[in-house]
Amino acid sequence: MALRNVRKFGDPILRKKCREVDNIDGRLLTLINDMKETMYDLDGVGLAAPQVGILKRLFIIDIGEGPLVFINAEILETEGTQIDEEGCLSLPGETAEVKRPNYVKARALNEKGEEFEIEAEELLARAICHEYDHLNGTLFTDRAKKNGRS
Name the residue ranges covered by the structural domains of the chain.
Answer: 12-143
pLDDT at 148: 41
- Average pLDDT (89-116) is 97
Q: Is 134 known to sit in a ligand binding site?
A: yes
Q: Is 88 known to sit in a ligand binding site?
A: yes
pTM of the model: 0.94
Share of residues in the chain with pLDDT > 70 (%): 97
The single residue of 65, 114, 117, 131 carrying the catalytic annotation is 131
CATH code that applies to domain 12-143: 3.90.45.10
Q: What is the pLDDT of residues 1-57, one digit of tens each?
A: 799 999 999 999 999 999 999 999 999 999 999 999 999 999 999 999 999 999 999
Q: Is 130 known to sit in a ligand binding site?
A: yes
- Reported as a pLDDT band with limits 50, 70 and 90, residue 150 is very low
33 torsion bin: left (phi>0), alpha (psi -120 to 50), beta (else): alpha
Active site residue 85: no
